[in-house]
Chain A
Amino acid sequence: MSSLLFGLRLSRWGILGFSLAALISTFIQAVGFYQIAGHTPAEHAAFGASMITLSSQFVALFPTPLRPDTVEGYVQFRGFNPLAIIFAVWALASATGFARGDEERGIVESELATGTTRPALVAARAGAFAIGVLVASAAAGAGFVFGVESGGESVPARGLIEACALLAAVGLSAYAISLLVAQLASARAATALAGAFLLALFLVNSLSRVMSSLSTWRWLSPFRYYELSQPLPPGGYFDVRGLLVLLAIAIVATAAAAAAFMLRDLGAPLVRVPSPRHRPGFGASSVPFWNVPVARGLYERKLGLLAWSIAMAVLAWVFVALTRTIVQVLLSIPTFVPYLSVFVHQKLYPAVLGYTWFDVAQLMFAALAITYVARWSSEDTDGRLEMLLSTPQSRAAIVLERMAVLIAASLLVAAVSGVVLFNASHAAGIDLDARRLVEACLLLVPFVLVFAGAGSLLAAWNPRAAVGLLGAFAFASYLDNELAPIYKLPAWVQSLSAFKLVGTPLLNGVDGRSLALMLLLALAGLGSSILVMQRRDVGA
Chain B
Amino acid sequence: MLVEMALAAIRTSALTKDYRAGRGLFDLDLQVSSQEAFGYLGPNGSGKTTTIRLLMGMIRPTRGSAYVFGLDCIRDSAQVKRRVGYLPGDVPQFGSLHGGEIVAYLGGMRGGVDQRHVRAIAERFDLDLNRPFREYSSGNKQKLAILLAFMHQPDLLILDEPTSGLDPLNQQEFYNLLRERQKAGATIFLSSHVLSEVEHVCDRVGILRSGRLVHVHAVDMAETEPSLEEVFLSFFAEPRPKALPP
B-binding residues in A (CB < 8 A)? 187-188, 278-287, 290-292, 296, 300, 382-384, 386-395, 397, 535-540
Contact = CB atoms under 8 A, between A and B. Distances in A.
A284 B110 CA distance: 14
Contacts of A287: 101, 104
A190 B92 CA distance: 23
A290 B134 contact: no
10 contacts: A187-B134, A285-B104, A291-B104, A382-B93, A384-B92, A387-B106, A388-B109, A390-B86, A391-B109, A392-B79
Contacts of B97: 300
A140 B106 CA distance: 48
B215 interface: no
Contacts of B122: 282-283
Contacts of A284: 100-101, 103-104, 107, 113, 115, 118, 129
Sorted from nearest, which 8 A-B pairs have the closest CB atoms?
A: A383-B92, A282-B122, A281-B130, A290-B104, A537-B59, A285-B104, A284-B103, A290-B108
Contact of A391 (B60, B81, B96): B81
Interface stretch (B35-43, B50-58, B168-176, B179-187): B50-58
**Best-surrounded residue of A384, A390, A540 (most CB of chain B within 10 A):** A390
A539 B58 contact: yes
Given A188-B96, A283-B118, A386 B108 contact: no
B79 to A, nearest CB: 7
Nearest to A187: B134
Contact of B130 (A188, A279, A291, A384): A279
B78 A394 contact: yes
B128 to A, nearest CB: 4
A193 B227 CA distance: 60
Contacts of B77: 389, 394-395
B148 interface: yes
A304 to B, nearest CB: 11
B103 A285 contact: yes
B56 A278 contact: no
Nearest to B90: A383
A300 B94 CA distance: 11
Given A285-B101, A539-B53, A387 B131 contact: no
B220 interface: no
A285 B131 CA distance: 11
B110 A392 contact: yes
B88 interface: yes
**Best-surrounded residue of B79, B104, B148 (most CB of chain A within 10 A):** B104
A388 B108 contact: no
A382 B81 contact: no
B82 A392 contact: yes
Interface residues of B, number: 46
B99 to A, nearest CB: 9
Given A287-B104, A290-B105, A282 B129 contact: yes
Contacts of A392: 78-79, 81-82, 110-111
Contacts of B56: 389-390
Contacts of A382: 92-93
Contacts of A281: 100, 128-130
A283 B109 contact: no
A287 B101 CA distance: 8
A383 B88 contact: yes
A382 B141 CA distance: 14
A280 to B, nearest CB: 4
Contact of B108 (A279, A282, A292, A540): A292
A284 B123 CA distance: 12
Contacts of B108: 290-292, 296
A281 B53 CA distance: 32
Given A284-B129, A300-B105, A391-B109, A386 B58 contact: yes
A278 B104 contact: no
Contacts of B94: 384
A403 B81 CA distance: 23
A291 B115 CA distance: 13
A388 B106 contact: yes
Contacts of A292: 108
B98 interface: yes
A537 B101 contact: no
**Best-surrounded residue of A280, A388, A535 (most CB of chain B within 10 A):** A280
B232 to A, nearest CB: 28
A134 B92 CA distance: 37
Nearest to A394: B78
B127 interface: yes
A389 to B, nearest CB: 6
A535 B100 contact: no
A412 B127 CA distance: 36
A29 B178 CA distance: 67
A273 to B, nearest CB: 14
B193 interface: no
Given A284-B115, A285-B100, A387 B78 contact: no
B208 interface: no
A463 to B, nearest CB: 14
